[in-house]
Amino acid sequence: MPQAGPAARAGGPLLNIRARIERLDKLPPMPEMTQKIIQLSANPDAHIRELVKVVELDPSLAAQIMRYASSPFFSYRGKIDSLDTAITRVLGFNTVLNLALGATAAKPFRIPRNVPLGLDAFWRHAVFSAALVQALSSILPAELRPPAGMAYLAGMLHNFGHLLLGHLFKNEFLILNKYIVNEPHKTVEELELEVLGTDHGQIGAWLMTAWKLPEEVVVAAREHHNEDYHGPHAVYAQLVLIADRLLKGQGMGDAPHGELPPMVLESLEIGEYQAVTIAERILEGSDGLEVMARRFAS
């Protein structure tokens, strides 16, 4: 993790959000629909029809799931005319479950749209990251490969901390965004530590832990910028880190740069050429993802 800059070293963080978050006696409540999806995920006998019923409570979400199933990188040649088809023929129960979980968990947070870390940027990066993390996970050796749906969720929610920060501390969030614009030579994480006293990974992990979201997703949020993390569920953080770097090479996201760390690639047993090729395939079919991101942000 990068060291805090001069402002933090000399007199502490400019705004010290960390201390204020730790003093909060009430975090935002988990959305009701997210609770329904978590209950469904905890039921080993849950059926596709039950998932369809829950998702249909949000017609816009249902439409986005069907659009995602129609994306070119799934190469499904039939017509996606129902949620049932999207689930059974293309995406699978767990991917749709976790897509719905991520979308509903993030939906209530309303933050400014047209700033570097705003809602438009969050959803664009979240949607592309989720698709890329899922695709990367599919080529891992069997002993390392995580469930596709959980990989997707880790990719979608790893920047959850930006939503919480913008929701709870709007003025401070805007100040951070101004620093990002005015000091482009510094990474987002460096500026967060200097200005806030913590980073978005830790902020997101606090809320996810309070909401009892899966530990795999908590780890991905907390450690996705940490090349040296090898603790529990490291595969999720490492996949997100690789996806972040690949997307940074396309001018998207908050990774410090677009270089792929050899040690992380080796740990995942992925070749750099493989990773780049998968990213290119995802980006070639990006029209559907772009629409999906705009719909989630609207």
Whether 284 and 145 have beta carbons less than 8 Å apart is answered as: no
Residue 62 reports pLDDT greater than 60: yes
Q: How far apart are CA 242 and CA 258, in angstroms?
A: 9
Residue 41 reports pLDDT greater than 50: yes
Whether 237 and 229 have beta carbons less than 8 Å apart is answered as: yes
Residue 244 reports pLDDT greater than 70: yes
Residue 37 reports pLDDT greater than 60: yes
Residue 49 reports pLDDT greater than 50: yes
Average per-residue pLDDT in the chain? 90
What is the pLDDT at residue 285? Answer: 74
Q: How confident is the model at residue 6 (pLDDT cuts 50, 70, 90)?
A: very low
Whether 225 and 189 have beta carbons less than 8 Å apart is answered as: yes
Residue 140 reports pLDDT greater than 60: yes
Domain boundaries, the chain: 6-27+111-297, 29-108
Fold assignment, 6-27+111-297: Hypothetical protein af1432 (1.10.3210)
- Report the Cα–Cα distance between both ends of the chain, in Å, rounded: 33
* Mean pLDDT computed over 208-212: 91
What is the pLDDT at residue 8? Answer: 42
* Mean pLDDT computed over 105-111: 90
Q: How confident is the model at residue 15 (pLDDT cuts 50, 70, 90)?
A: confident
Residue 1 reports pLDDT greater than 70: no
* Residue matched to tokens 């959305």: 31
Q: How confident is the model at residue 11 (pLDDT cuts 50, 70, 90)?
A: low
Residue 136 reports pLDDT greater than 60: yes
